[in-house]
Amino acid sequence: MESIDDLAIAFFGEDLDTLASRMQVQDDPMGKPVTRATQLIKIYLIKMDAECARCVKYRSRRERADTASGRDESHFYKMMLDIGEEMNSVCHLYDLPGSNGQQVNILDICMAPGGYTAVALRHMPEAHAYGITLPIESGGHSVVLDKHLLKSLRYGDVTMFKEYCPADKSIPKQHPDYKNFSPFRLFTSIRFNFVFCDGAVLRTHQRGDNRPQEKETIRLQASQLILALQRIQLGGTLVMLLHKVDTWHSAILLYTFSKFSNVVVFKPQKWHSTRSSFYLVAQNVNPQHVDALKAVEEWKQDWWRATFAGEDGLGLPRPEPTDQLVQEVIVNFGPTLAKLGHSAWKIQADALSRTDYAGSGGGERRSSSNSALISRNLPSLVVNQECKITVSSRVSDLNEVLNSVTISAGRRKDEQPKKGKEISHTVAQVDENLR
């Protein structure tokens, strides 16, 4: 199989454009252009999971309201406290085994107002907490958490550190912000058991015209991920705010982290339940795993491209993923992705169904069968070492599709294909990852 369209036809019997038009698949409610990778991921998950289908339906009805109004910092801080406590109750973040006298360290990237660190210190009062946040004079928000509880708090723009620059590149001297890139490497002597990445591009952030929001979003995420993976302790936990499990952007991050950590998708029920936000919770992270090291190098390339690439040297938006990578994610990780996202979609769909603008205002009555994975008459696929896909049969269950995928790598031409490991995760494997 050579393209995303071929994969769409193999799975669904229709080309991607026809499917996207018929199903009215959109990337986000603000009308930003949808990528083909996200279209395919979203259609796959809609067909795979009933809660995803419900969630996407209600999202499309949601009013597009501007959220630029000023925040009540104390209210937002309380909200973060509630979310942090709920996250701990679900994910058991702070149920640590005996530390054998070793110091527990917390790093909060884009800390303000500091609610997640406050919750961590409630449960681990002996821990040392460190933070970095945008200064108020640059458009940042205030830290409500008692600063005396912190070991160190640094103020700065987390996207402006030279350490993110790939080894094969340099900071162009003609760039308008050349003098603003910092050579300092924060907290290099410390390894952190917990890292929170809760940064979002702020409308109040004072930055030049060369840093539009589209590229700034890429730079901020890459910066947080690089800093987190280069500071986290072996076996540590990383928590990152994301949006929409059913987009390429989220799918590839979940897939990437699944290679070197135990990944959980957490969505709070009390706060922001109608919104698409969720948290990637990666536990037992191995930052020295070959895939973790590879990911850091790729994020550095993302940061450099979004900052310096292009004819004007002011950065380029994120490029489309290759068709081969999209195929790899769907074939290797599709069932796991649906399993991970199921609860988040259900929480959002249930909340939206109770609103006046998206639902009936009183929720909906549904049969329990809607919560199960949907069986589909989709083709079985077989992958060879070039990751090209061929249709081998028709099956009645979507899980059977991915369970029938086999790998033949390093095989001699005269050798018959051997049954390799199943690419798809079994339900048992998925459940194990979710614990």
pLDDT score for 32: 59
* Domain boundaries defined on the chain: 4-62+321-434, 73-230+287-308
Pick the closest to residue 405 from 432, 423, 388 (CA basis): 423
Alpha-carbon distance 117 to 149, whole Å?
10
Which of 172-186, 316-330, 357-371 comes out lowest in average pLDDT? Answer: 357-371
Q: Which residues contact 352 (CB under 8 A, 6 or more apart)?
A: 55, 58, 59, 61, 62, 274, 358, 359
pLDDT score for 165: 95
Q: What is the pLDDT of residues 114-125, one digit of tens each?
A: 999 999 999 999
Q: What is the pLDDT of residues 13-45, one digit of tens each?
A: 888 888 887 777 755 544 556 788 888 888 889
Model confidence at 179: pLDDT above 70? yes
DSSP state of 102: P
Q: Which two tokens stand for residue 220?
A: 């901020």
Q: Which two tokens stand for residue 194?
A: 């917990």
Q: What is the CA radius of gyration of the chain?
A: 22
Please tell me whether the overall predicted TM-score, pTM, comes out greater than 0.85 for this model.
no
Alpha-carbon distance 132 to 106, whole Å?
11
Q: Which residues contact 42 (CB under 8 A, 6 or more apart)?
A: 25, 56, 246, 247
DSSP state of 246: T
Q: What is the pLDDT of residues 352-376, one digit of tens each?
A: 887 765 555 555 545 444 444 444 4
Q: What is the mean pLDDT of residues 297-301?
A: 97
Q: Which fold has domain 73-230+287-308?
A: Rossmann fold (3.40.50)
pLDDT score for 13: 82
pLDDT score for 317: 85
Q: What is the mean pLDDT of residues 254-279?
A: 90
Pick the closest to residue 106 from 120, 119, 87, 93 (CA basis): 120
pLDDT score for 5: 82
